[in-house]
Structure 1
Amino acid sequence: MILLHIRCYPAYPTPPKLSQELSKNPTSYPSSSVLLCSSECKLKLSSKASFQCSCTEKENTHEASSQILSLLAVQILELIGTLFLLQWTAKPQYKFINFFKTNKLSKERNWLLAAVLGCGFLFLLVFITSILADRLIGPKAVNNPVLKEILLSSKISKATCFLVYCITTPLLEETVYRGFLLRSISATMKWQRAIFISSVIFSAAHFSGENSLQLFIIGCVLGCSYCWTGNLSSSILIHSLYNAMTLLLTFLS
């Protein structure tokens, strides 16, 4: 930018000699060389601005892709670590593979039907609580600006967001909060109380005060689905569908 200003500096201030000639002869105009220099200056400035804008967009896209890819890598490592701990330290009934085994309860109750009904009920509850929150507290933005920027940055970011929020997150959180935590505490108390306690822990673990009520409701629905079917597949599917709908609303809002 400095070099451009130095090279085209004569195009803006009028030199003393040219100023005297213009005052003597009002009908005289700047020479073609002066106009050419001015045009070249504008063209170079425009090209420079376009280049800077293009570079900024590429940097933002690269940064957004790096963020979501890093999150995917971290969650995969967390999932692997969780499965390793369950495999080698937990009791046999808390091993990951046993969360999906068919038992007497899961034979009587279709986990896929339970997932569909639970998902519809969850959307209804979240919608109602959102309306109540808007009236009591005030409206807030629907979309997450950071997440939306990542979704709009590139196709790779969109695909990675889907992997993170619709596959790895449901697998990780349902294994920890429903498969292990809820199943553990329900062995020592009534299932209703166990769902309440696990949902409180699930909500608190997200460190989101403004969304704590909705997270608690989500935890209750997921916990009820798991307790009713005895199969972790139902709560994983509900969790995945809910996150997919959240991504879609964020992208479209």
Structure 2
Amino acid sequence: MTTPPLGRTTPVKGFLAVLSLLLAVTVWVVGLLDSLSRPSVAPALSLQQQEMALLAGSALPDPLRSLLVGSDPAATLRDALREIPLDRLDDRQRLLLASLEADSDKRRLVLAPPLGSPDLQPLQRALVDDTQSAQLSVSERDLLADPKADPLLRELSCLALGGTTVDCRQQAIARAVARRLVLAELLPLLALVLGAGLLLRHLWLLWRGGINPWPMLTAPPLTLVDMVLLVAGGFVVLGEVLLPLVVSPVTAALSRGLAPPLSQAVSVLLGYAALALPPLVIIRQQLKGVDPATRPEFGWLQWRLRPAGTSVIQGGRAWLMVMPPVVFTGWLMGRLLGDQGGSNPLLELVLRSQDPLALILLATTAIVLAPLFEETVFRGVLLPVLVRYLGRGWGVFLSGLVFAVAHLSIGELPPLLVLGLGLALLRLSSGRLLPCVVMHAFWNGATFLNLILLGG
């Protein structure tokens, strides 16, 4: 590892670093504690999968039906909706539950015991009896008035009104949903199996000494104080706290008059750009005064864009290999501590959005901007400097920990830490930054694709 001359730490610089660190720790502690009250996207994803299973069950072949749908998807969805307090169900979910609870014989209501709540009885009677429809809210009547907009609600309400399966089921829609469900369930499973095989092979080669030595790591000529100013001062204080105060009115003005999904997507894109700007400016200023003669062949960040194909292969393979430990960590934390909440709000936006332009903007943020910016800061600058001062082991761990904490989610912190460790090891083993960006983009892109398949 090269050791270029280090930057000089002045008293003012040291004072700003200490102040930035104190403010950043405060922001991070408050953000992590706040994440405990922020809802998780996991329950919404689970409900979405159960709805798709019920709608797609008839269009799946028998082997896949037993694997993906189960023996009674209607009962599974009904039980899941029953577990949610009635005052937290939206109008659509209340209609779904009422339809699932009700069975009709010549328009005579029969309640399937045990009834989820006595408060649902007027809704069920209104659902099966036109004379009681005034008991429905305006939004509930709108949902039932346009059955094409919600195939599952149309099918269940049709069955509750006494219709036959042939009359109520829309096979073309069921087949389309079945294809999405198969992709959403089997693609991640295939990636996990392939990743586990690659990981075991890599560990075997490592044990047998068949892995090539890692290349020499080139670190930017920066100090630990510079890293505090970059991460605590630029990323947290300026990027997360101060600059959003300036950008928020501009974002509100630009998104005024847009539909809610598109308006939220514009806010996310501009907000992330504002977050990324201060750290990137700080990196540029920190490296601006370095003697050009000490600059390594591929630059201080070691992007090494060519050959690009090798970066894609390295990033894709590393993404597959890191999936099993990340998924296992998330599963283990769920079993030990339960759902801690705190999911990234962008996940919910993608899951619920129906606007193609909004999805494009969200994809640009998640798959392009986030990998480029985060890898530049955490693996391009922070990791090499930490490794130079603290050694390889501590450098990998602390850079991964900072990466995980920066996402401000206690529930997602352990899996993100494992992901950060995998990205750091890829940076060290490849000697390049571009494979890390590719791996990060693959990770975010796979999550995005799964939300798209389950959404709508």
TM-score over 0.5 (shorter chain): yes
Gap change, CA 1:147 and 1:89, over 3 Å in 2: farther
Which among 371, 377, 381 is matched to residue 170 of structure 1?
A: 371
Matched, 1:195 2:396: yes
TM-score for the superposition, normalised by structure 1: 0.64
Gap change, CA 1:101 and 1:149, over 3 Å in 2: closer
TM-score for the superposition, normalised by structure 2: 0.38
Task: State the AA in 2 paired with 1:67.
Answer: S
| SS in structure 1 at match of 2:338 | coil
Shift of 1:62: 4.4
Task: State the AA in 1 paired with 2:400.
Answer: S
Which among 429, 435, 440 is matched to residue 228 of structure 1?
A: 429
Task: Please list every run of at least 4 consecutive aligned residues from structure 1 whose deviation after the TM superposition is greater than 4 angstroms.
Answer: 93-98, 139-146
Which residue does the alignment assign to 1:149? 349
Which among 265, 288, 291 is matched to residue 88 of structure 1?
A: 288
Distance in 1 (CA, whole Å) between partners of 2:346 and 2:441 is: 20
Which residue does the alignment assign to 2:304? 101
Distance in 2 (CA, whole Å) between partners of 1:131 and 1:175 is: 29
Residues 205-243 of structure 1: per-residue CA shift (max 9 Å, x gap): 222111110111011000000000110011111111101
Deviates more, 1:152-161 or 1:65-74: 65-74
Which residue does the alignment assign to 1:116? 316
Shift of 1:113: 3.4
Gap change, CA 1:219 and 1:98, over 3 Å in 2: closer
Q: Which runs of 5+ in 2 are unaligned?
A: 1-137, 143-256
Distance in 1 (CA, whole Å) between partners of 2:303 and 2:344 is: 33
Shift of 1:141: 7.7
Distance in 2 (CA, whole Å) between partners of 1:128 and 1:217 is: 10
User: Between Structure 1 and Structure 2, which shows a larger proportion of helix residues?
Assistant: 1
| SS in structure 2 at match of 1:209 | coil
Q: Which runs of 5+ in 1 are unaligned?
A: 1-45, 51-56
Gap change, CA 1:73 and 1:185, over 3 Å in 2: closer
| SS in structure 1 at match of 2:411 | coil
Gap change, CA 1:168 and 1:78, over 3 Å in 2: farther
Distance in 2 (CA, whole Å) between partners of 1:76 and 1:94 is: 26
Which among 328, 338, 344 is matched to residue 128 of structure 1?
A: 328
CA contact (8 A) 1:78 1:172 kept: no
How much is the aligned-residue C-alpha RMSD, in angstroms?
3.4
Matched, 1:64 2:267: no
| SS in structure 2 at match of 1:99 | coil
Shift of 1:187: 1.6
Which residue does the alignment assign to 2:438? 237
Which residue does the alignment assign to 1:39? none
Distance in 1 (CA, whole Å) between partners of 2:324 and 2:285 is: 36
Shift of 1:61: 3.2
Which residue does the alignment assign to 1:213? 414
CA contact (8 A) 1:143 1:250 kept: no
Which residue does the alignment assign to 1:20? none
Task: State the AA in 2 paired with 1:99.
Answer: Q
Tell me the number of residue pairs that the alignment of Structure 1 and Structure 2 aligns. 195
Deviates more, 1:224-233 or 1:157-166: 157-166
Shift of 1:244: 0.8
Which residue does the alignment assign to 1:159? 360
Distance in 1 (CA, whole Å) between partners of 2:275 and 2:324 is: 29
CA contact (8 A) 1:65 1:157 kept: yes
Shift of 1:67: 1.9
Gap change, CA 1:187 and 1:145, over 3 Å in 2: closer
CA contact (8 A) 1:143 1:249 kept: no
Distance in 2 (CA, whole Å) between partners of 1:143 and 1:61 is: 18
